[in-house]
Every structure is written in structure tokens, then in C-alpha cells.
Amino acid sequence: MRSLDDLLAEGVSGRRVLVRTDLNVPLDKQTRAITDDGRIRASLPTLQALRDAGARVVVAAHLGRPKGAPDPQYSLAPVAGRLGELLGTGVPLAADVAGDDARAKADALGDGDLLLLENVRFEAAETSKDDTERGGLADRLAALADVYVDDAFGAVHRKHASVYDVAQRLPHVAGRLVAAELDVLTRLTTDPERPYVVVLGGSKVSDKLAVIEALLPKVDRLLVGGGMCFTFLAAQGLGVGRSLLEADQVDTCRRLLAEAGERIVLPVDVVVAPEFSADAETGVVPVEEIPDGQMGLDVGPRTVEAFGRELAGARTVFWNGPMGVFELAPFQAGTRGVARAVAAVDGLSVVGGGDSAAAVRVLGLDEAAYGHISTGGGASLEYLEGRELPGLAVLAD
């Protein structure tokens, strides 16, 4: 797989470079203000290196899940504004993805200039399962540039036109973010330094089942929190009240517990409340005593201590998924406590993107304390599962 440095060594001054980035940032529903610009900031090293080298940079990205047609609430206009602030230059936004306005603006670029295309998912062909449909969009995107750089790690698990098909039409390299993500994931999957501890949270066991199956033979400890822990607790015969429960996964969790023995570590106490609310009256109970009318919405302080002890001696840690509903103040302590324990690891600590990366920033934790914060939760998990990621496979060609 060729790198950005390989491309820069060849010289890019005056050449048009199409860069697929992951700028899928969260927006406030009322104001459309960006609430977390982490992915935009992660794109800067590649974009700035190309601009400094005199490239004419055309950026493609998606935002949200529009239904294959222009939709103002998913416009990349807020992203263009923030990207311009971070780069210290104006960033024009094309009115379309790869149409007349995109072509005109791309043709007008000077050396070191940058253009942001409108949301690639405004084109139904971007996510089409039909190779010919995707190919048509890829042809139009490829016509905007001389070379392609994929720096959108959060999208490499998608066989989309701007991720997969364009790379088949242009000389291609991996951007700095993709290279960094791949380096860290390789370290996690190829002889990781031990003890190797994985922390998994989030809502559903079903969402993490494949990665659990793949990681169990490789890890020394698997710490399970978040809503998914209640299906494991139910598999131990415990009542979970009104907590999130995937009844169809109880037998699977029972099997995993039997196979893993002490390697799977579950919460010993949880924070409960009668309702999902920032004003709810909360309590902390042992996992054996969850009341019928209550729901568990965070791991408790004894669990944070227990998970902290497991993490204290680790040399490699991968964390994906919050320990509770960290968006609400009464249920933040578990995620904050475990996040701090991950940050304190004397070794490689990897935050696996998605809600985990968001939690680090929402809770005001020091991002620099972690070895790596991924920009791609789904892509990271699929890589750890051992699945081929189309966006990476095509770069290796």
C-alpha cells in the first residue's frame, strides 16, 4: 500500500488531488452547529501536507444519512466553515457532488487551494449495491483529479463509490490518518504486548458479538459494561429489571461465559433509575439486586474500581463503547472512571472511535493521554473481526 509520503516524493505541485476524508461530525439539531470537530481535526495533517506541497486539493466527504438526494439539513456547509477556520483559509463548497459547479470550482483551483464537494451521499449512486451505478459516479469524481488519496478510515469498511470505485480509476495512496489507524490496528492484532485487555460497552450484544468471538481467543481480559452487560447478567440467571435485554442472545452469552471463564469480567454493581432522564432519582445496587421496576443506566463505583484493577497492569488496551448513558449527567461516572483508567495504562491504549471517542471529548478528558483515538468505530471493529475492508483492499492493489 503506497503512502502519502510516496506521493509527495513524486511531486504534487499543480496536480489535482481528490482526497476522501471522514468529516461526518455531529451537529446540533436546532442550530446545526458542530458539537464535536474531532474528525475534521484528524483530517488536517493530510490536507495541510498536500496544500504545502502545492497540490490543488478536492475534498470528498459524507455527512449523516441523506436519502440519496440533496437535503439542506445534511449539507457540508458547517463543515466547510470549520475546516476553513482550522486551516486558516477560505474553503469554498461546491453546490453539487461531481456536477457542473464542482467541475467549474475544481478547474479554478490554484496551487495550494482546497475545494470541498457537497455531501457525496446526496448522490444515490454513492451507496448503491450496483457496480455500474457506483461506477458512473466514480467516473465523474475521478474526472475532477489526477490522483486519489483515501484518508477516510471511518468509511473504509464501505464499498462506496468515493471509497472503493474511485481508487480503481486513479493512482491511489493511503492518507496519513488511514496509515496511522492501520498501524495501530496491526499492533492490536499481531502479537500485542501482554496483558492485553479489551473493554467493550454500548447498547447491544448483537452489535459486538462478532468482535467478541474474534477477540476472546486473543485477550487476557474482556471487560463488559454498557447496556450489553445486562444480557450477560441474565445469562448468569440474574434479574435485570427493566434494563436493556436482548433475550435472543442470552444463550449465546451463556456459551461465551462458559468458554471464557474468568477472562470475561462483568459489572458487580450498577446505577439504576426508574426512567431515562437527567432528573431521575438514581441509586446504586449490586447486580444481584436490580429492582424489577428499575433500569440499569451505568456501571457502579465498585465496578469502576474492579475494571481499574484489571486495567492497571495491562500493556495493551482497546476500548470501544461507553459504560452507560454518558450523555446524561447522572450516568457519566462509569464511563469517566473507566476512561481515566484506560488513559493511565502504561502501554498502548486505543480508543476505538464512535461513542468512545465522543465520550472522551464530551467528558473533557485529555485526548493526549491516550495512545490513539480512532476515527472509525465500525471500521475498527470489522478490522479486529478479521474482515476484509473494501477501502483498504483496493488501496493495496
Binding residue per annotation — 64?
Answer: yes
Binding residue per annotation — 62?
Answer: yes
Q: Rounded to whole angstroms, how far apart are CA atoms 267 and 67?
A: 40
**Which among 38, 86, 46, 40 is positioned nearest to 368, based on CA atoms?**
38
Q: Rounded to whole angstroms, how far apart are CA atoms 247 and 245?
A: 6
CA angle, 194 then 195 then 198, to 5°: 110
Binding residue per annotation — 68?
Answer: no
Binding residue per annotation — 82?
Answer: no
Binding residue per annotation — 24?
Answer: yes
Binding residue per annotation — 105?
Answer: no
Binding residue per annotation — 355?
Answer: yes
Binding residue per annotation — 32?
Answer: no
Q: Are 76 and 36 in contact (CB under 8 A)?
A: no
Binding residue per annotation — 354?
Answer: yes
Binding residue per annotation — 63?
Answer: yes
Binding residue per annotation — 103?
Answer: no
Q: Which residues are catalytic?
A: 39, 204, 354, 378
Binding residue per annotation — 202?
Answer: no
Binding residue per annotation — 208?
Answer: yes
Binding residue per annotation — 327?
Answer: yes
Binding residue per annotation — 22?
Answer: yes
Q: Rounded to whole angstroms, how far apart are CA atoms 159 and 391?
A: 7
C-alpha cell at 279: 432528573
C-alpha cell at 284: 446504586
Binding residue per annotation — 191?
Answer: no
Binding residue per annotation — 388?
Answer: no
Residues of the binding site for ATP: 208, 296, 327, 353-356
Residues of the binding site for substrate: 22-24, 39, 62-65, 121, 158
Residues of the binding site for (2R)-3-phosphoglycerate: 39, 121, 158
Residues of the binding site: 22-24, 39, 62-65, 121, 158, 208, 296, 327, 353-356
